[in-house]
Amino acid sequence: MNQNTSLPKTGTQIHNLRELEHDPYHAQRKFKEPMACPGCGAIYQGGRWQWGQATAGADQHRCPACQRIHDRCPAGFLTISGDFLAGHRDDIHHLIRNVEQREKSEHALKRIIDMEEQADGALLVTFTDPHLARATGEALHGACKGDLDFHYQEGEFLLRVTWTR
């Protein structure tokens, strides 16, 4: 497994992608609580977006994940390629969706934006959160082996993950 040297080394996970690099989709200010996202139903409470029931009269504001999806501006990319993909496409799709469901249940802003088949046979998965891209790549590598690589672009809140077998 290759890791770009610009990634912080914290075991097998990135806990904070460069604390100094701010995600432009996360608000610079705290919202008035309670706040509800009209797109996904997440609520802003206790200083963060989470799943729950919005109270009557809660203000409406699109959450950062829904805004990224609306703008089609991913924070993470996972490119899956190689001969293994062709024979195991359904299993790989299920694995990706299972990782998303697990992460999304705890973290309302971690979601898949899109899974699109590329002309060369590769699968490109885009995410609202770079940590979800990394977790999905690591799950794929753990289940299927292969070659896993991470590329974090200095100065951006963006992670590119590639997996090949």
- pLDDT tens column, 85-100: 999 999 999 999 999 9
Residue whose entry in the numeric block shows the structure tokens 């509800």: 36
Closest-CA residue to 40 (of 108, 98, 90):
108
Average pLDDT, the chain: 87
What CA–CA distance (Å, rounded) separates 17 from 15?
A: 7
Tens of pLDDT, residues 106-138: 999 999 999 999 999 999 999 999 999 999 999
Q: What is the rounded average pLDDT of the residues 3-17? A: 41
The predicted model scores a pTM of 0.84
The pLDDT score that the predictor gives to residue 116 is: 97
Closest-CA residue to 129 (of 25, 50, 38):
25
- CB-count burial class (<10 Å; 0-12, 13-18, 19+) for 39: middle
**What would the two tokens of residue 66 be?**
């829904």
